[in-house]
Amino acid sequence: MRLLASGRDADVFEAGSGKVLRRYRDAAMDATPEAVVMRHVHARGYPVPMVYDVAGPDIVLAHVHGPTMLEMLMSGAMSPADGAAMTADLLDLLHAIPAPDDLVGPSRVAVERAADDVVLHLDLHPMNVLVAPGGPVVIDWCNARRGPAGLDRAVTALILAQVASGELAGLGPGARAMFEALLGLLGPLTHVDEALAYRATDPNMSADERASLDRAAALLTP
């Protein structure tokens, strides 16, 4: 199979017939929970790749053609303001979807379960949005959990703040502009402390990324 992309913990291969195979490098990983939440939001009209099959660390998805939002921002094909608007819209659409009863809350931060919990992506940023001809499609749902919408919004804002603070190099000069535009669209943030704790315990973050968190968090409050 031809390798199409590689992330921090998984690789994506061409699987033929308009499909791709996303495979975790850790063979002990189970992609089933990810597939379940993707099917849940897809059934309610949210833009995610269709799930065809899942087995152990493998999940077979529809092949979505298009650049990432990050690639479009860096090339100038999308403005920071448009990127912020698209991100805010995707968060709003997702948070209109009630969480299924069997979806658990975040394991790395204490958030009380509530009847009005919604589906949280917890990693929604420009690298995880493909801009297909028919519109944006959100990928990489391994962190999806239930909880308050404010936590998801704060996590996205914190990720962009890490970029805007200048600690994560190479992601384009419009990062600060997009971050500021997104803050304006999201309004006052809640659950910032929980978002900071969640990001601080992310096993996929490098030491440099963890070191940037306090500086990034300072950008979230006026």
CATH of residue 13's domain is 3.30.200.20
Phi, psi (rounded to 5 degrees) for 59 = -135, 130
52 and 129 belong to one structural domain: no
Mean pLDDT of 189-194: 94
17 and 103 belong to one structural domain: no
Most confident listed range (114-118, 130-134, 168-172, 212-216)? 130-134
Confidence of residue 172 (pLDDT cuts 50, 70, 90): low
51 and 73 belong to one structural domain: no
The tally of domains found in the chain comes to: 2
Cα radius of gyration (the chain)? 17
193 and 150 belong to one structural domain: yes
Residue 158, pLDDT > 80, answer yes
Q: Which two tokens mark 117?
A: 């919990």
**Predicted local confidence at residue 168, as pLDDT:** 47
38 and 109 belong to one structural domain: no
pTM of the prediction? Answer: 0.92
Q: Which domain holds residue 53?
A: 3-62
Helices (H), 76-212: 80-94, 149-164, 175-186, 192-200, 207-211
16 and 85 belong to one structural domain: no
102 and 118 belong to one structural domain: yes
pLDDT in tens, 142-153: 999 999 999 999
Which of 16, 47, 62 is where one domain is finished?
A: 62
Which of 62, 77, 112 is where one domain is finished?
A: 62
Confidence of residue 173 (pLDDT cuts 50, 70, 90): low
Confidence of residue 110 (pLDDT cuts 50, 70, 90): low
